[in-house]
Amino acid sequence: MCVTRSSELPKPGSFRRVQVGGESVLLVRNRDGELRAHINLCRHRGVVLCTEDSGQFNTSIRCPYHGWTFDLNGQLTAAPFMKELPPQTKERHLYSVSVSEWLGYIWVNLDPSAVPLADQLAPMLHKRFGDVDVPGRYGCDELEVAKRETYEVNANWKILFENFCECYHCPTMHPEVCDILPEWRSGYGTVSGPTGPKIEGSKINEKAEGFSLSGRATSAPLPGVPEHDHRTFHGLLLWPNVHLMFIPDHVMCMRFEPLGPAKTRVIVDWLFHPTAVSESGFDPSDAVALVDVTARQDFEACERVQAGAESSYFEEFHTPHESMITDFRRWLGEQLSDGAETSAGATSPQADVIAV
Ligand code: FES
Ligand SMILES: [Fe+2]
């Protein structure tokens, strides 16, 4: 799960509390600046250790109930009357989970047997971009969040994610985005198409300069973007909760956080180069407006799907444009089948289930 931006934990002792599924996770930078992720529960009587969203620890995390103290790596270092306590007390360190950084974001996995993030991403990135490291060209680690918008949508997170798996709705629902990316009137975007994802991306129409509501560019193309991509849009979806757009002068990252079976928080970041952000007159609102207007159209449709899903007659029919939804459900089915492997291409029994 992509949970927050790395720059939100800027120095040793910085912490941030995030929700990952049903678990509260405490992200901390230790004294060496390395990232740690601990389950936010004291190992004495299980109280939630930290209730603030973010802040700064000095050198340790102290439980407010009986005063057990853990270092930033989660090791129990002190407890009142330690000498009188049974010897196994000393072993009651915080539970830690795996944490990685990529594209300037922090990614958490609660599964202790999960393979490393890079190995999970490799097949998704290869399917999308072949052997070319397209995300790497945009220098996402160094980009700044010029604008963040948060939306709450009354729909299950999977309904939202599936909406972004297909562009069949684009010609009906998204006139603004189809003006900038005319190819999308075909019902195919860049993540799915008749022969798979569109590796070369979609071209911005020749009258526009950039991906924004007015068609103007916000700033110069990012330094690592090659000239042949100066008018290209690349979309990327990463199971389970990330949607990225790579545009010549910025990157947009949309994350879905389930808040309940029929409620999802969507956090959208618009990332620009720090040099562009510091220029006088920098104004990302035109670029923001295009995604904002389009996302609101999507969210309204998703709320209608959620309402429809509550009918006993609810069913779905998928066109070839929506084949990526099948891929997503196959992946999801594999995750829900208790780690039982299904071979590549096989349809898992749960592939058609919309699970909560
Ligand atoms: S519950 Fe944390 S010290 Fe007792
Ligand atoms: Fe859409």
- Pick the last residue of a domain from 109, 142, 162: 109
Mean pLDDT throughout 294-323?
96
In terms of domains, do 78 and 204 share one?
A: no
Residue 105 token pair:
């974001």
Residue 335 maps to a domain: no
In terms of domains, do 203 and 257 share one?
yes
Specify whether the CB–CB gap between 170 and 177 falls below 8 A: yes
State yes or no: pLDDT of 351 exceeds 50.
no
Q: How far is the CA of 268 from the centre of ligand 2 (A)?
A: 14
Q: Do residues 104 and 136 both lie within one domain?
A: no
The tally of domains found in the chain comes to 2
Residues 125 and 249 placed together within one structural domain of the fold:
yes
**Cα(344)–Cα(143) distance, integer angstroms:** 36
Task: Classify residue 314: in a domain, yes or no.
Answer: no
Q: Is residue 244 part of a domain?
A: yes
In a domain, 331, yes or no: no
Residues with CB under 6 A from ligand 1: 42, 44-45, 47, 63, 65-68
Same domain as 251, residue 140: yes
Mutate to test the pocket of ligand 1, among 49, 50, 63, 94 (most ligand atoms within 8 A of CB): 63
Residue 207 lies in a domain: yes
pLDDT digit string, tens, across residues 60-82: 999 999 999 999 999 999 999 99
Atom 3 of ligand 1, residue of closest alpha carbon: 66
CATH code of 209's domain: 3.90.380.10
Same domain, 97 and 127: no
If asked whether residues 278 and 145 sit together in one domain, one would say yes
- Check residue 352 and give its pLDDT: 42
235-259: pLDDT as tens digits: 999 999 999 999 999 999 999 999 9
Q: Over pLDDT 70: what percentage of the chain?
A: 95
Looking at residue 97, which CATH number applies to its domain? 2.102.10.10
Distance 174 CA to ligand 2 centre (A): 7
| Distance from residue 297's CA to the centre of ligand 2 (Å) | 7
**pTM: predicted TM-score of the whole model, two decimal places:** 0.92
Q: Give me the mean pLDDT over the 115-140 stretch.
A: 96
Amino acid at 123: P
Q: Is residue 315 in a domain?
A: no
Give the closest residue (by CA) to ligand 1 atom 4: 66
**Domain end among 52, 83, 109:** 109
Rounded to the nearest integer, the mean pLDDT of the chain is: 94
- Assess contact for 275 and 249: CB atoms under 8 A: no
32 and 128 share one domain: no
Pair (153, 236) in one structural domain:
yes
Of 79, 109, 139, which marks where a domain is finished?
Answer: 109
Query: What residues are paired with 202 via a beta bridge?
Result: 233
| Ligand 1 atom with least separation from CA of 49 | 2
Q: Where are the alpha helices (DSSP H) in the chain?
A: 117-129, 134-137, 157-164, 170-173, 175-180, 274-278, 285-309, 323-336
Contact 160, 273 (CB under 8 A): no
Q: Write the Ramachandran bin of 21: left for phi over 0, alpha for psi from -120 to 50, otherwise beta.
A: left
Whole-number Å distance, alpha carbon 113 to ligand 1 midpoint, is 28
Domain assignment of residue 316, yes or no: no
- Are 248 and 288 members of one domain? yes
Side-chain-facing half-sphere of 69: CA atoms under 13 Å: 11
No. of helices (H) and no. of strands (E), the chain: 8, 16
Contact call for residues 121 and 238 (beta carbons, < 8 A): yes
On whether both 59 and 139 belong to a single domain, the answer is no
N-to-C CA span, the chain: 17
Q: Where are the beta strands (DSSP E) in 119-262?
A: 144-153, 202-203, 232-238, 242-247, 250-260
- How far, in Å, is the centroid of ligand 2 from the Cα of 160? 10
Give 201's contacts (C-beta < 8 A, 6+ positions apart): 190, 229, 232, 233, 234, 235, 246
In this prediction, residue 21 has a pLDDT band, given cuts at 50, 70 and 90, of: confident
Q: Does residue 345 surpass a pLDDT of 90?
A: no
Domain that holds residue 299: 121-309
- Residue 61's DSSP bridge partners are 70
Instruction: Give dist(CA 93, CA 77) in Å, integer.
Output: 9
pLDDT in tens, 143-165: 999 999 999 999 999 999 999 99
**Cβ(276)–Cβ(223) below 8 Å:** no
The reported pLDDT for the residue numbered 350 is 39
Residues 140 and 13 in one domain: no
User: In this structure, is residue 337 part of a structural domain?
Assistant: no
